[in-house]
Amino acid sequence: MSNCAIVGINWGDEGKGRMVDYLTQQYDVVVRYQGGGNAGHTVINEKGKFALHLLPSGIFRSGVMNILGNGVALDCENLLKEIDTVRQGGVDITPENLLVSERASLLLPWHRELDALEEQRLKDKKYGSTKQGIAPFYSDKYQKKTVLAGELLYPDHLRAHLQDLLEWKNLILREVYGAKGYTMDEMMAWVEQYGQRVKPYVADTSRYLHQAQAAGKSILFEGQLGALRDLDYGIYPYTTSSNTIASYAPVGSGLPGASIDEVVGVVKAYSSCVGEGPFVCEWFGADAEKLRDAGDEYGAKTGRPRRVGPIDLVATRYGVRMQNATNIALTKLDILSYMDRIPVCAHYEINGQRTDEFPFPVLLDQAKPVTEYVPGWNCDISGVRTWEDLPQAARDYVEYVEQAIGCRIGYVSVGAERDSLIVR
């Protein structure tokens, strides 16, 4: 048995979905262990193109059990939309291949509303939220004011608990934000419409995982976003509200005693970022538009244009360290094929001093990129399937990045399709 975590090294949007989709052929169980419907993993296979926000990316593999762990923000509305969309693509989804932890908390309608109201209040100081309710949800979770998915199985208790939460939440909505608030009838209608459809998937997934581990089954932990969005180690406060690092996977999955044998960190061959906050290597103008269009850099969840720039070796090296990555998947190498010279953000300069260390968040606004260039390859590599068939300049670029970030690059992606992958 081996356990693997697949995680983002940078700001998210690195291409984790296609890598999870590829790697699931080697694993028996895939677990989402944090985050919610606020980011997407795009998967392209023989059934079509899918943007998954909550469903584990192993849902397309026959015989694989997919689990939403206790660390997930369980957005029933988004989850059910995804289930319906994936079913339309010909994928059967039942409790035989999807389970939801009874200890996962429900993201309720007021979480989404509070997210939007707070961003509106912050105005030009907003965090760049996707307005999917993530920050209010995790705030409530740590205040012990959420509903657990397992409570759907105990309707009398659920109603009483919701009544208590409703009184408290309406005080905030009405007194702080001047909003209308919710009635008990509205909340019970929401439970009936969405909670009842999720209820058949709710189970003691911690016990399931323990039994799977004892039986020698292999587990793949699927992370959302990237190291620079981690609540504790990211570019605070422009982070998500959960821990995106691999070391949280055992806790958020429901198997706290699990050991992780391999951490596959996903890095894009250039940089992209959705949302607000410092982004040292950012490009603007025509160069940015050309790279954005070449890479189709628009958010899987929001459709927002992603901020783009060259690969940031300083940030990537930091992300590798925070994730304790043992192997790297470098994605979208093919997108750089139009460039005569490939730019890289090799160092930062802060207050006139060059540094290779990722700085404390408050210093990031002062950091300037120090750009270096390596030769381009000027040809289409999307059909290449072996390392030896890559142009020498492309191999040189991969090896340059590998040496700079201090971690072996074992996978090189040259397209979004399942087979557009070079294994070194």
Q: Is residue 244 part of an annotated ligand binding site? A: no
Alpha-carbon distance of 248 to 169, in angstroms, equals 29
Alpha-carbon distance of 321 to 213, in angstroms, equals 27
Q: Is residue 334 part of an annotated ligand binding site? A: yes
Q: Is residue 17 part of an annotated ligand binding site? A: yes
Alpha-carbon distance of 97 to 298, in angstroms, equals 30
Count of CB atoms situated within 10 Å of the CB of 380: 11
DSSP letter at 205 equals H
Contact 89, 120 (CB under 8 A): no
Q: Is residue 384 part of an annotated ligand binding site? A: no
Residue 1 corresponds to which tokens in the numbers above? 């048995």
Q: Is residue 252 part of an annotated ligand binding site? A: no
Q: Is residue 265 part of an annotated ligand binding site? A: no
Residue 287 corresponds to which tokens in the numbers above? 């160069």
Alpha-carbon distance of 252 to 244, in angstroms, equals 10
Q: Is residue 302 part of an annotated ligand binding site? A: yes
Q: Is residue 258 part of an annotated ligand binding site? A: no
Q: Is residue 40 part of an annotated ligand binding site? A: yes
Residue 107 corresponds to which tokens in the numbers above? 């993201």
Question: Which residue in 305, 302, 330, 304 sits closest to 316, CA to CA?
Answer: 330
Alpha-carbon distance of 103 to 148, in angstroms, equals 5
Q: Is residue 241 part of an annotated ligand binding site? A: no
Q: Is residue 356 part of an annotated ligand binding site? A: no
Enzyme catalytic residues: 13, 41
Distances (CA, A) of 212 to 34, 127, 258: 20, 40, 11
Q: Is residue 94 part of an annotated ligand binding site? A: no
Annotated binding site for substrate: 300-306
Annotated binding site for IMP: 13-16, 38-41, 130, 144, 240, 304
Annotated binding site for Mg(2+): 13, 40
Annotated binding site: 12-18, 38-42, 130, 144, 240, 300-306, 332-334, 413-415
Annotated binding site for GTP: 12-18, 40-42, 306, 332-334, 413-415
